[in-house]
Amino acid sequence: MFRLYYLIFVIANIGIGTNGVSPKSKVRYFPDGFIFGASTSSYQIEGGAFDDGKGLSIWDIATHMDPSPIRDQSTGDIATDSYNLYKRDVEIMNEIGLDFYRFSVSWPRVLPGGFSNYINQAGINYYNNLINEMLKNNIVPFLTIYHWDLPQELQKLGGWANPAIVDWFTDYANVLFEHFGDRVKYWMTINEPKQICYEGYGSDKKAPMVNISGVAEYLCAKNVLLAHASAYRLYDEVYRERQNGTVGIAISFTWAEPASDSEEDQQAALDARQFDWGQYTNPIYSKDGDFPIEMKRNIAAKSAEQGFKRSRLPELTAAEVMTIRGSADFLALNTYSSKLVYRDASVDGMYAVPSYMDDMGTVFIKDPTWPQAESSWLQEVPWGFYKLLLEVNRLYDNPRIYVTENGWSTAGGLQDEDRIRYLRNYLSALLDALEAGCDVRGYCVWSMIDNFEWMAGYSEKFGLYEVDFSSPDRSRTPRKSAFVYKEIIKSKSLNPHFEPDVYLEEVVAIEDKVKDEDVAYNE
């Protein structure tokens, strides 16, 4: 039962406006066994950054830099305070009716120094309590081992650019398998390798902001793949028989659509897809393994032009290819948007500065007619989601897929008609993909509650529940989208005409109260 009140306006007719895709007017049903969830991650919601023996992460360091690189100068020190309010979070899971909840473990909360020689029991207790509370309420835990909060002590040693991290990560995964594997049956080793490697090591878009493009992200990519495969092989050899779980990896996907029908732009779109996600999916899920040929070709050619004695893309040995290939029971697919792509030849020759974008040789643009979210990078393009699922099906022999992140950002407020439209249109595209034969087993919205959105801080809201970050108790209030998603889960159907009950008087009172509090807080 949803607590608090809720504010819902009568909906005006809303069109999709996404390149000719029109809303389905009939009720559509999800197949038997299809499951629905919601996602969060440790640094983004837990808080308790310095409590109970937790070590420092690279995000604890980044958010306390002076000047702050975070848009609103905020931190995750408290965030939504889920470290103390996890029972309220499980209540929310029940209120929505989730089948599963995807969360991550904070590496430095469990291993404060990064290494497995010392295990912080308070950290183990917290995740035991969370998992047990979920199971008590029939919520299936989907656990992500690593979602970007690397222990700072390991970053001092090079972090994901140091090959030794393969062993460090495997040791960490072993601790989690040992402590939680009796109850956790769905594991994701690493969340979004591209964001770790390109944004964290090849640029300054994410912590640790190493920003050595054209080199650091490729060192990172190889080590991430080997670390994932090592943890998978460990589970396979030591834990699978007695714990009977499954292990995958969460990879971010953006559909790259050619900006024209020209052969050049068609190839540019293919290159973009291989650099964006193929460099991580191809080694694991393809029959041949290894980095995509487009990456190997482009980076080798650019490296030679720039005077390097060898390609800046590290080679995977035959043994490493074998270790990585097939190291997943399922694909955890994160996707939000699509981009138009054209070929960029503006930088060429021996004087070009090494960079990931130059190696790719493409430019990403957006169609101005696509609906725009609060996040500049996020537009609503449901047909791109459909094309993406079909392409993954074709390339990787129809792998078992869980969509583990998909969502829409707003500036805040309880009336989120655009989020509802986005969710319905993307779920409709998913149903189209299911009808076309794609093996998608579940869908997970990002995110269950508002949280710390990395470099954007708290300025972008993705939650089905609004969090009042000015309140000491971090109160959570359901948005309209929470009620719509609840009905989708309950009915296992997509009904474009469904409207939650309207409690207009209560709603207006709540909205006025929230506005008054916001004004007082800002003053």
> Looking at the annotation, which residues are catalytic?
192, 405
- Compute the distance between CA of residue 355 and CA of residue 215 in angstroms, rounded to an integer: 8
DSSP state of 184: -
Token pair belonging to 44: 């983004």
HSE-up of 141 (CA within 13 Å, CB side)? 27
Of 269, 281, 251, 264, whose CA–CA distance to 384 is shortest?
Answer: 269
| Ramachandran quadrant class, 442 (left: phi over 0; alpha: psi -120 to 50; beta: rest) | beta
- Greatest pairwise CA separation for the chain in angstroms: 72
DSSP string, 227-280: HHHHHHHHIIIIIHHHH--EEEEEEEEEEEEESSSSHHHHHHHHHHHIIIIIHH
Radius of gyration of the CA atoms of the chain, in A: 22
Give the ranges where 116-215 is alpha helix by DSSP (H): 121-136, 152-155, 165-180, 193-194
Bridge partner list, 330: 248
DSSP state of 456: G
Bridge partner list, 340: 257, 365
Question: Would you tell me the crossing angle of helices 165-180 and 121-136 to the nearest 10 degrees?
Answer: 50
HSE-up of 246 (CA within 13 Å, CB side)? 14
From residue 32, alpha-carbon distances to 35, 354, 384, 491 in Å are 9, 50, 25, 11
258-259-260-261 Cα dihedral, nearest 10 degrees:
10
The number of beta carbons lying within 10 Å of the beta carbon of residue 145 is: 23
Helix or strand or coil: residue 43? Answer: helix
Please name the residues in contact with 185: beta carbons below 8 A apart, sequence gap of 6 or more. Answer: 140, 243, 244, 245, 246
DSSP string, 151-163: BHHHHTTTGGGST
Helix or strand or coil: residue 38? Answer: strand
Sign of the dihedral through C-alpha 271, 277, 283, 286: negative
Token pair belonging to 335: 């996707």
Of 281, 277, 274, 273, whose CA–CA distance to 324 is shortest?
Answer: 281
